[in-house]
Amino acid sequence: MAYRRVAAWGWRFLVIVAVGWVLVQAIAEITTLVIPVLIAALLASLLLPLVKLLTRHTFLPRSASAAVAMLGLIVLVGGMFTLAGRQLTSQWEDIEKAAIQGFRQVTDFAGNTFQLNDTTLQNYVSQITDKLQENSGTILSGALSGFSTASNVLAGIIISLFTLFFLLSGGERIWRWMVCLLPAEARIPAHESFRRGWQALSGYVRTQILVAAVDAVGIALGMVIVSLGGYAVPIGLVVFLFSFIPIVGAIVSGAIAVLLALVLKGWVAALIVMAVVLVVQQLESNILQPFLMGQAVNLHPLAVFLGVAVGTLVAGIPGALFSVPAMAFINSTLVYATGRAEDDDLGEDRALHRQFFPGKSAAYLESPDAPAYLREPQAVLDENGEETAENPA
C-alpha cells in the first residue's frame, strides 16, 4: 500500500516537473516579451490605487486617469535619471583624475610588493594590448551584441508602457474575460484567489519601494558626510534600483558606494561609507524587513533566500528580481485556494461575481452548486468597475 502511494505521488511530481520545465523553456524563448509584461504588472499594482482615486474624485475617465498616472511616473523616473546624469557629468573630470591616480597607486603598490620594475610592467601592458588587438573581431561582435541588447531594451520599454496603460485603464475587463474562459464552477474561486495574490503583490511592491527609499536616503547621506554630496543622487538612485534585487542588490550597490569613496577620498572615507552601508543594511534586515515586509508578504527568510537563488540560476538577474513577488503572489493564492487563509479582511467580491456568468454560462446560476447570493439582485458594473444600477436576477 505504501509503495502504491509513493508511486502515485512520484508520477505526479514528475508531471509537475516536466510541465514546469516546458514552461521555463517556452518563457526563455520570449523573454523580450515576458519581462516587460511582468514589469508592467508590478507597476500596475503600484499605480492602480492612484488611478481609481483619480477616476472617483475627478472628472477624468478611467483611460485619462491611467494616462495621468503613467505620465507622472515617467516624469518622476526621467527627472531622477536626468539629475543623476547631470551630477555625474559635472563631476566626470574629478572621477577621471582620481581613477588615473588610483591606477598609478595600484601600479606602484604592485611594483614595490612584487619587485616589478617599469620594464616588466610595460611588458605586461604590451601583452594586454596585443591580446586586445588579436581579439578585436570578438570585441566588435560584442559591441554589436550590445547594440542589439540596447534595441531590445528599447523595445521592452515600449511593450511595458503599452501593457501598463491597458492594465490600468481596463485591467478589470481583461481579467473578467480571462475568468470567463474557465469552467463556471471554477470562476469565483479563481477570482477570489487572484485577489489575495494581487493584494500580496501590491503590498510587496509598496513595501519594497519604502525600504529601497530608506536605503537610498541613508547611503546618500553617508556620501554627504564624507564630502561627496555631488554623488549623493547618483549613488542613491543606484541603491534604490538595486534594492529590488533581494540579498544581492544590497551588496552590489553598497560596494559601488564604498569603491567610489575609496577612489575619490581615500581609505578613511571608504571606511566611513562602509560603516554607513552596514548600519543601513542592518536597519533594513532587522527592523524594516521583519515589520513591514512581514505584514505585506508572509514568506519565511529561508524561502526568500532559496527563491532568489533558484531564480538567479534559472533566469539570472530577472529571475532574482521577480522571484520574491512571484512567490508572494503564488503563496497567497494557494493559501486561500486550500482554505488556510486566516484573518482575511478582503471578504468576497460579490458585486463582480455575477459578471462572470454571461450568456450560456448563466445556466450555472440555476444549478444547486451555485451560491445562493448569485440568484439575488446584483449591481451592474460600468467600465470603471463602479456600481451603476440594480440588475434583477
Question: Which DSSP letter does residue 265 get?
Answer: H
- In degrees, rounded to 5, the angle at the alpha carbon of residue 348 between the alpha carbons of residues 345 and 354 is 160
Assign 71 a pLDDT band (cuts: 50, 70, 90). Answer: very high
pTM above 0.75, yes or no: no
CA distance 371 to 188: 10
pLDDT value for 392: 36
Q: Which residue has the cell 513577488?
A: 325
Stretch 110-139: mean pLDDT, rounded?
59
- Three-state DSSP state, 176: helix
How far apart, in Å, are the Cα atoms of 63 and each of 44, 47, 55, 236?
A: 13, 13, 9, 33
CA distance 337 to 327: 15
Assign 143 a pLDDT band (cuts: 50, 70, 90). Answer: very low
CA distance 393 to 375: 6
Q: Where are the alpha helices (DSSP H) in 287-300?
A: 294-296
Assign 250 a pLDDT band (cuts: 50, 70, 90). Answer: confident
Q: Out of 147-151, 183-187, 317-321, which region has the weakest mean confidence (pLDDT)?
A: 147-151
Q: In angstroms, what is the C-alpha Rg of the chain?
A: 27
- In degrees, rounded to 5, the angle at the alpha carbon of residue 140 between the alpha carbons of residues 138 and 142 is 70
Domain ranges of the chain: 30-105+138-181, 185-339
140 versus 328: the higher-pLDDT residue is 328
CA distance 194 to 174: 13
Stretch 268-291: mean pLDDT, rounded?
81
- Cα–Cα nearest to 161, from 40, 282, 45: 40
- Three-state DSSP state, 245: coil
